[in-house]
Amino acid sequence: MRIPAALFPMILALAACSGAAPQRGDTPPHETPMRVATYNTSLFSDEAGGLIRQLEGDDAHARKIAAVLQKVRPDLVLLNEFDYDPAHRAADLFQQRYLDVAQPGGGEPLRYPYRYLAPVNTGVPSGLDLDRNGSVGAQGRERGNDAWGYGLHPGQYGMLVLSRFPIDEAAVRTFQLLRWSTLPGAVNPVDPTTRQPFYTDHVWTQLRLSSKSHWDVPVRTPGGTVHFLVSHPTPPVFDGPENRNGLRNADEIRLWREYLTPGDAPWLCDDQGRCGGLPADARFVIAGDLNNDPADGDGQHEAIVELLEHPRVLRMATPRSEGGEETALAYAAKGMQRRGAPAHVTGDFGRRNGALRLDYVLPSTGLTPVGSGVFWPKKSDPDAAIADGSDHHLVWVDLTL
């Protein structure tokens, strides 16, 4: 039967109270909530083909990531930091050797019949001196700094969408090539020592906005099409006083606000040449490691706050966990205070940065949340043994359509 609307707040409070593994009910298929998740998996390698070689073996890291997915069992999930390869070999291996096999501490095998992955900007040489060190490319970090998005080889830190429901691949929109300077209001970072633009006009007019890519992936759910809007903006650090990564992070987040806002947007053209934003009647879920906490850490916090407050983004209880709260409070006991709620954090980033909320699942209005959480058990919980595969933790939201 349908859940009475009056019970939604109570259900939300109960479902979001801990980081323990959420349970699925026996509701009829047409009324079963869809579980949508995002998970920065840290399944990357500094060497091209390195992730493939890891997954061809018996990789303990990948087993933990698979165990978490088997425990939470999302119907639709974005995996950030999953290296892309053109033959999709890593994605095949992860499904066949890890998700298809019951993992210790996880659950039953988990099969995703549909997936989407595509090239990203990380590690792709730009042919330009983006870090202004006087050379192009070189080796190591200098090579990564001159890629369209920081990375040591093409495809590093890629994205992978896994789905139980069909994906309308012909209607997918990608914004890998969109130039930063075309975004209305975009500002070339300024070097405060010279008060001159950090990038020359030659570079600024070519520089891509997305450090990885932005994808609109239409998913055909039992309740109709839902647009899965996924991305992984650059961290707002690892730059200089010009704050080029902080500004880029804010504008990568702002791209979704522009995409959702009604009106003509002839500049907003995808890699297939189709222009304009998301139709006003479309339902969507924004997901990803957005590398921006609403109140703490580095970055322009107003960028994520304005996305959270966009008229088309649903107001709902913030996903939370007991393990995240425990970790954030432990940092606070050592003098690292948070302005945001400790239970809302989604990752532990060490003594310098502490625990932050960087990972988001943001449904649109027109969808109804009936539960949410962050898979981050307390240290005393047996599930903690599989929750440390990444410095980020899986965030999930249950939605009725």
Tokens read off for 34:
């869809």
What pLDDT score was predicted for residue 308?
98
Q: Does residue 384 belong to any structural domain of this protein?
A: yes
Count Cα atoms within 13 angstroms, Cβ side, for 303.
Answer: 23
For the whole model, what pTM was predicted?
0.93
Question: What whole-number distance in Å separates Cα of residue 154 and Cα of residue 248?
Answer: 20
What pLDDT score was predicted for residue 138?
83
Contacts of 286 (CB under 8 A, 6+ apart): 229, 230, 256, 307, 313, 360, 361, 362
Tell me the residue length of the chain.
401
Any idea which residue has 């090579």 for tokens? 143
3-state secondary structure of 372: strand
Question: What whole-number distance in Å separates Cα of residue 206 and Cα of residue 262?
Answer: 27
Name residue 396's beta-bridge partners. Answer: 37, 373
Question: What whole-number distance in Å separates Cα of residue 214 and Cα of residue 229?
Answer: 7
Please name the helix (run of DSSP H) or strand (run of DSSP E) that holds residue 10, with its range, or none.
helix 8-15
Closest listed residue to residue 130, CA positions, set 234, 40, 45, 256:
234
- pLDDT per residue, tens digit, the chain (401 aa), is 333 333 333 333 333 444 455 555 545 555 789 999 999 999 999 999 999 999 999 999 999 999 999 999 999 999 999 999 999 999 999 999 999 999 999 989 999 999 999 999 999 999 999 999 999 988 888 899 999 999 999 999 999 999 999 999 999 999 999 999 999 999 999 999 999 999 999 999 999 999 999 999 999 999 999 999 999 999 999 999 999 999 999 999 999 999 999 989 999 999 999 999 999 999 999 999 999 999 999 999 999 999 999 999 999 999 999 999 999 999 999 999 899 999 999 999 998 999 999 999 999 999 999 999 999 999 999 999 999 999 999 999 999 98
E strands present in 235-391: 283-289, 347-348, 355-356, 359-363, 368-374
With beta carbons less than 8 A apart as the criterion, state whether 353 and 345 touch.
no
Which residue range is the domain that position 260 belongs to?
A: 36-120+155-400
Q: Does residue 4 belong to any structural domain of this protein?
A: no
Tokens read off for 47:
């060497």
Q: Does residue 147 belong to any structural domain of this protein?
A: no
Q: What is the CATH number of the domain that holds 235?
A: 3.60.10.10
With beta carbons less than 8 A apart as the criterion, state whether 216 and 229 touch.
yes
Q: Does residue 136 belong to any structural domain of this protein?
A: no
Q: Does residue 11 belong to any structural domain of this protein?
A: no
What pLDDT score was predicted for residue 114?
98
Task: Phi first, then psi: give them for residue 393, nearest 5 degrees.
Answer: -125, 150
Count Cα atoms within 13 angstroms, Cβ side, for 240.
Answer: 12
Q: How many domains does the chain have?
A: 1
Name residue 362's beta-bridge partners. Answer: 286
Q: Does residue 315 belong to any structural domain of this protein?
A: yes
User: What end-to-end distance do the CA atoms of the chain give, in Å?
Assistant: 14
Residue 192's alpha-carbon distances to 181, 189, 207, 300, in angstroms, are: 20, 9, 21, 18
Q: Does residue 7 belong to any structural domain of this protein?
A: no
DSSP H helices in 105-243 = 140-145, 201-204
Q: Does residue 146 belong to any structural domain of this protein?
A: no
DSSP 96: I
What pLDDT score was predicted for residue 3?
36
With beta carbons less than 8 A apart as the criterion, state whether 197 and 204 touch.
yes
Q: What is the CA radius of gyration of the chain?
A: 20
What pLDDT score was predicted for residue 79?
98
What pLDDT score was predicted for residue 384?
97
Question: What whole-number distance in Å separates Cα of residue 52 and Cα of residue 83?
Answer: 9
Residue 13's alpha-carbon distances to 23, 144, 208, 245, in angstroms, are: 15, 44, 41, 36
